[in-house]
Amino acid sequence: MKLLLLVFRSTFEDAVLRILDALKLPGYTEAPQVYGTGAMGPVFDSHAWPGFNGMVLSALSEEDARRVVDALAYFAQTREKDGEHMPIRIFSVPCEQLL
């Protein structure tokens, strides 16, 4: 089992959630407004650093995790071809359900 952590610009929230819903995953948890800094610069929902990120956590089987990564990678590549960069990061951590 893997815990996927998805971090993306809030402008892509609807698209990311539509993709996850289309994959019929067993579940996920969304943190819709998170702040931070990374390759695209800081986002703190302020005048100096406008905007914020969305974050999704999901504990998934290896197969479902691969489907999520493949679907979001395809979506990001499609956006790149259209000239629109999609700031998204996906992290994977081994996961064991304890309760």
CATH number, residue 23? 3.30.70.120
Residue 39: per-residue pLDDT: 79
Residue 77: per-residue pLDDT: 92
Q: Does some domain include residue 99?
A: no
Residue 34: per-residue pLDDT: 96
Q: How far apart are CA 3 and CA 92, in angstroms?
A: 6
Residue 40: per-residue pLDDT: 79
Q: Does some domain include residue 10?
A: yes
Residue 32: per-residue pLDDT: 87
Residue 80: per-residue pLDDT: 82
Structure tokens at 68: 């999520």
Residue stretches of the chain with pLDDT short of 70: none
Q: Does some domain include residue 21?
A: yes
Convert the pLDDT of each residue in 13-26 to its tens digit: 999 999 999 999 99
Residue 41: per-residue pLDDT: 86
CB-based contacts of 43, cutoff 8 Å, min separation 6? 9, 35, 36, 37, 49, 50, 51, 52, 53
Q: Does some domain include residue 58?
A: yes
Domain extent, residue 65, equals: 2-94
- H/E element holding 69? helix 62-81
